[in-house]
Copies of this chain bind each other. A is one copy, B any other.
Amino acid sequence: MRKETATPSFLPLYEQIKQLILRALSDGEWQPGAAIPSEMELARRYQVSQGTVRKALDELVMDNILVRRQGKGTFVATHADDGTAYRFLRLMSLSGEQEYPHSEFIVFSRGKADAQVASRLGVSPGSALAILRRVLTFSGAPVVYDDIRLPAALLKGVSIAMIEDHVNAHKGTLYSLYEAQYQIRIIAAHERIRATLADAVVAPLLGVAVGAPLLAIERVAFTYKNQPVEWRMSYVNTARHYHFDELN
């Protein structure tokens, strides 16, 4: 006799706990860098055993949403940490050394979403965007040109001076700025990589000839619940650097 199940969805307890914790994070109950309650406290709060909480936390740690520190507690991941500040930067020098870039901001303006960006960000074509353009330099040499766009509503009252101050004076990343000033927490991103030729706009910014080969990397960055919040196009001069990728 076959059993008929109208509701085939069986969600494990730890998965439900994970969703509850994600919602608490999304609701801002715990701020980036702060400790969340201990495993025992969460177990009492959600009326499950500590092992079940632990399994939920395991997955959130695996997703780089939380960070465990033995003896201290479990913390909300932050882009302000020195260790994780550049975790989305996959660029290395040919010698294999990881270098950290300096940002030169060129433009901060407003614009409207074209069809492609609108589709990627899940907003209507023509809706207002904040547009940020910059050059990343490594050891003084320009290597990356970024064209970065976000829904304008997310970045209210921002100025290029504020951005430069945060990123350069305080040695932060754009993502740590989003996090600290705009309650936007980037937790994942997708990248589409193609090869292209430097055009008359990008070539002088990167100090290469028109027609030089560049990586064109289109990135969409996500916050909780896989909601896209930032789109960017990066043009990378790989004469002295490479994009690194691990497969398994």
Measuring CB to CB, which residues of chain A are less than 8 angstroms from any residue of chain B? 62-64, 87-88, 90, 187-197, 211, 213-215, 218, 236, 238, 241-248
Contact = CB atoms under 8 A, between A and B. Distances in A.
Copies of this protein, total: 2
Among A242, A244, A247, the most chain B Cβ lie within 10 Å of the Cβ of: A247
A195 B244 contact: no
Contact of A88 (B87, B88, B242, B247): B247
Contact of A192 (B62, B88, B218, B244): B244
A216 B132 CA distance: 29
A191 B244 contact: yes
Given A188-B246, A190-B246, A244-B191, A196 B213 contact: yes
Nearest to A240: B194
A84 to B, nearest CB: 11
Contacts of A197: 213
Among A62, A88, A213, the most chain B Cβ lie within 10 Å of the Cβ of: A213
Contacts of A87: 247
B88 A245 contact: no
A242 B187 contact: no
A243 B193 contact: yes
A190 B242 contact: no
Contacts of A236: 195
A213 B195 contact: yes
A22 to B, nearest CB: 14
A194 B211 contact: no
A90 B194 CA distance: 12
Given A64-B248, A192-B243, 19 more contacts: A63-B248, A188-B246, A188-B248, A190-B247, A191-B244, A192-B242, A192-B244, A192-B245, A193-B238, A193-B242, A193-B244, A194-B215, A194-B241, A194-B243, A195-B214, A195-B238, A211-B211, A213-B213, A245-B245
A191 B248 contact: no
Contacts of A192: 242-245
Contacts of A194: 215, 238, 241-243
A197 to B, nearest CB: 5
A215 B188 contact: no
A70 B202 CA distance: 53
